[in-house]
Amino acid sequence: MEDRSPEPETPLTEPRPAETPGEEVVPEAPAPRLNQTRTGIKPKALPEAEADLADPSLYFNRELSHLQFNIRVLEQALDEAHPLLNRLMFLLIFSSNLDEFFEIRVAGLKHRVALGDDSTDIDGRSPSSVLAEISQTAHEQIERQYRILNELLLPALEERGLRFRRRSEWTRAQRDWVRGYFDDEIMPVISPIGLDPSHPFPRLVNKSLNFIVQLEGKDAFGREGGLAILPAPRSLPRVIALPAELCEEGFSEAVFLSSMIHAHAEELFPGMTVRGCYQFRLTRNADMTVDPEEVSDLASALRGELLARRYGSGVRLEVVDTCPDELAAFLLREFALTADDLYRVNGPVNLTRMMALLGDLERPELLYRPFTPGLPKSLRKDGSLFNAIAAEDILLHHPFQAFSPVEELLAEAARDPSVLAIKQTLYRTGADSPIVNSLVEAARGGKEVTVVIELRARFDEADNLALASRLQESGAIVIYGVMAYKTHAKMMHIVRRERGRLRHYAHLGTGNYHSKTAKLYTDYSLLTANAALCEDVHQVFQQLSGMGRARHIETLLHAPFTLHDGMVAMIEREAEHARKGRRAHLIIKCNSLTEPKLIQALYRASRAGVECDLIIRGMCCLRPGISGVSETIRVRSIIGRFLEHTRVFYFQNNGKAEVWGSSADFMSRNMFHRVETCFPLLDRKLAARVRKDLETYLVDNCQSWRLQPDGRYIKQLPGDAAPISAQETLLYAYAAKA
């Protein structure tokens, strides 16, 4: 367990002195120590001739880097540049992200340790040492999260008329209303479980809210009181708004379900005395593994795995901080966890469920100002989208520009009698998707519709199984890609008869076919009728649906065949330009950078003198700024209103610049274990526009964090310069003007 010895508290909003002008070291955000020991190991400064690019000191640990990204998300809850409710949302997103981090990353590390696998990865860290550091950092940050909630956000919300009522603060009328709600909504669906030899400890669903209850007295059967478990009904909201007439004038008020249950727990055990009632929540291993050599039906195998996911092995136990030590120890034993896995929290143990309430609040002044996504000039005219795309390639930058043209293209294709065939990949699409509706309509209308659905998109498996069934019932051909490789490419291919000949159209994207996330994630969409690009998209679909040797792809790069080598070759080409004394520059923007050979290619490019600007939102295992290795590499992470999701790559190439968009991150899984596409922007105007977008990110001094050689991220501040937010700049440039 973490060290709980008293320490002087740092005010939550008071920054430490900046190390250099225009930079801020954010308080109370100790960076995970990555490759450092407790005393700190400085990265080696290696002369070019001696540099061993496989040296572990040149790499950060990916899990610790991932955790640090989540800390940068939490930092947004302190940033007063965000509206108040959005600051609360960032705090809740931190909880959601951390849940998945424990369910997948921590669970995987624990599994390796349980198997006796203490081997090191390229960063030189063993699973057991990484787990120890995760525990220390996560304890620090979760404690800090609840301080931010209780000491800053909740008081600030109350000042603006939004109040979360504690039990001790309920008025008489509110107590009466809560009793009625408990009797009518909670009592009929809650099931207390006494613990005795005939009632063993129940199997509790992953991340469910539960209470452990201490009882005294005898029950109806004469059994002596002891312990009981109260699982909170999963069908009920975790935060309940109080009726307006019960709220103080000028306030909207809400209570937590946990407070209601706690207040009336004794009614669930008539004749007995409740001596204690304490919230807890167990996070379980939620990773799913399907062995391709042992599966004959992927859909059936996944349905079985989905049931098992709810009851995987425990990885984290959260309890309210008032829970007695002996009860916490009892729960740890039941879940086969250690003291390092225990997290005591000062508030609800399931903060993520507060998100539902935010969607119901009508307080626009406390949220980001709404905007209307823009459209390129070529799409502002009435007429067929096919005509517009045939005239020129169209590039959309979401969410600044609308995702609706992609949906409308498919809708038009579904209705157009000249369209013969539609092929589509689906990874994360949404339960009620216009994309799927159009595919269903097209299939029912007699068109040849082929859909490659990736059933194994993590946490979307159930939705994708339902989508597959719906599409199959409509007459579409549904395939699940290649068993050993997730299909992560974002492609659409449409074949249309025009003037007696077949014309091909394609969409290639960096993000998913998901209407909701297209409003929240930054991504690019390319709509094209370029014959070479469309033929390559057709060939990739042929690979996915058929069998045979890899086909020759002319224009696209695609994983697992040519993407990795192609990226290394372009980085090496830039290095060769630098060696010959030419100006050399590359910009890589993606979500994660962890693949060792790509990192080593970037190190070699830096040693050759290439200026390397990396915009990496999340995990980054590359260590910048090391003498003789990465002196010319700069790494930024942009965290703001929208989730940065674009994967785009710029190479100066001695004045013959190339710009590529991709569905893939610079990770081993994307390069070698997934089907991915990487597409060039052949239209020079579109390529120049993307480069300008990238340069906007490079001058951001409001939402940008610079990675330091020792692993810290330092937030960039305007100082005396004009403040520049890349996302706000792009919003102004592309969104429809009011």
- pLDDT, tens digit, 9 for 90 and up, residues 313-337: 899 999 999 999 999 999 999 999 9
pLDDT of residue 18: 38
What residues pair up with 524 in beta bridges, in sequence order? 397
User: Tens digits of per-residue pLDDT, 97-110?
Assistant: 999 999 999 999 99
pLDDT digits (tens, 9 = 90+) for 522-557: 999 999 999 999 999 999 999 888 766 667 889 999
pLDDT score for 471 = 87
Percentage of the chain lying above the pLDDT 70 cut: 86
Q: Write the CB contacts of 667 (distance below 8 Å, at least 6 apart in sequence).
A: 592, 593, 594, 595, 619
**C-alpha torsion 103→104→110→115, nearest 10:** 130
The pLDDT-based confidence of 132 (bands split at 50, 70, 90) is: very high
Tell me what pLDDT residue 6 has.
36
57-61, 375-379, 560-564, 586-590: which has the minimum mean pLDDT?
375-379
Residue 279 has pLDDT above 90, yes or no: yes
Is the pLDDT at 16 greater than 50? The verdict is no
- Domain spans of the chain? 181-362, 393-551, 558-734
Coil, helix or strand for 459? coil
Segment 356-393, tens digit of pLDDT: 877 778 889 999 999 999 999 989 888 899 999 999 99
| 488 catalytic residue (yes or no) | yes
The dotted CATH code for 181-362 is: 3.30.1840.10
**Is 727:738 a contact under the CB 8 Å cutoff?**
no
Answering whether pTM is above 0.85, one says yes
pLDDT band at 304 (very low <50, low <70, confident <90, very high): low
Average pLDDT of span 605-632: 97
Whether domain 558-734 has CATH 3.20.20.60: no
At residue 83, does pLDDT exceed 70?
yes
The Cα–Cα gap between 209 and 311 comes to 14
Cα separation, 48 vs 629, in Å, equals 7
685 pLDDT band, cuts 50/70/90, is very high
The confidence score (pLDDT) of residue 552 equals: 80
Which listed residue (82, 139, 397, 488) is catalytic?
A: 488
Does residue 692 surpass a pLDDT of 70? Answer: yes
- Quick count: other Cβ atoms within 10 Å of Cβ 479? 15
Using alpha carbons, select from 136, 8, 65 the residue that is nearest to residue 599.
65
3-class DSSP assignment, residue 109: helix
pLDDT of residue 223: 64
Do residues 298 and 455 lie in contact, with contact meaning Cβ atoms separated by under 8 Å?
yes
| pLDDT tens digit sequence for 191-245 | 999 887 667 888 899 999 999 999 987 766 566 668 999 999 988 999 999 999 9
pLDDT of residue 736: 86
Look at 378-387, 565-574, 627-636 and tell me which has the smallest mean pLDDT.
Answer: 378-387
Separation CA 721–CA 729 (nearest Å): 16
Label residue 513 by pLDDT band (50, 70, 90): very high
How far is the CA of 650 from the CAs of 396, 400, 647, 664, in angstroms? 17, 21, 10, 15
Nearest to 411 by CA among 515, 273, 268: 515
3-state secondary structure of 237: coil
Superfamily of domain covering 393-551: Endonuclease Chain A (3.30.870.10)
Same fold, 181-362 and 558-734: no
Name which of 155-159, 298-302, 434-438 the model is least confident about: 298-302
Which region, left, alpha or beta, applies to residue 652 given φ > 0 means left and ψ of -120 to 50 means alpha?
Answer: alpha
pLDDT for 61: 97
Which pLDDT belongs to residue 459? 58
Instruction: Tell me the per-residue pLDDT of 425-484, one tens digit each, with 9 for 90 and over.
Output: 998 887 678 999 999 999 999 999 999 988 765 656 677 777 888 888 999 998 887 777
Backbone angles phi, psi at 407, to 5 degrees: -65, -40
Q: Over range 277-294, report the average pLDDT.
A: 77
- Return the pLDDT at 13: 39
Structure tokens at 327: 């009860």
pLDDT category of residue 141 using cuts at 50, 70 and 90 = very high
Give the model confidence (pLDDT) of 22-63 as tens digits: 444 433 333 333 333 222 334 444 444 445 899 999 999 999
Max Cα-Cα span within the chain: 90
What average pLDDT is seen over the chain?
88
Does residue 607 surpass a pLDDT of 80? yes
140 three-state secondary structure = helix
User: According to the model, what pLDDT value does residue 585 have?
Assistant: 98
* Residue in 137, 149, 152 with CA at minimum distance from that of residue 65: 137
The pLDDT of 718-728, averaged and rounded, is 95
Q: Give bridge partners of residue 194 from the DSSP assignment.
A: 228
Q: How far apart, in whole angstroms, are the C-alpha atoms of residue 277 and residue 267?
A: 13
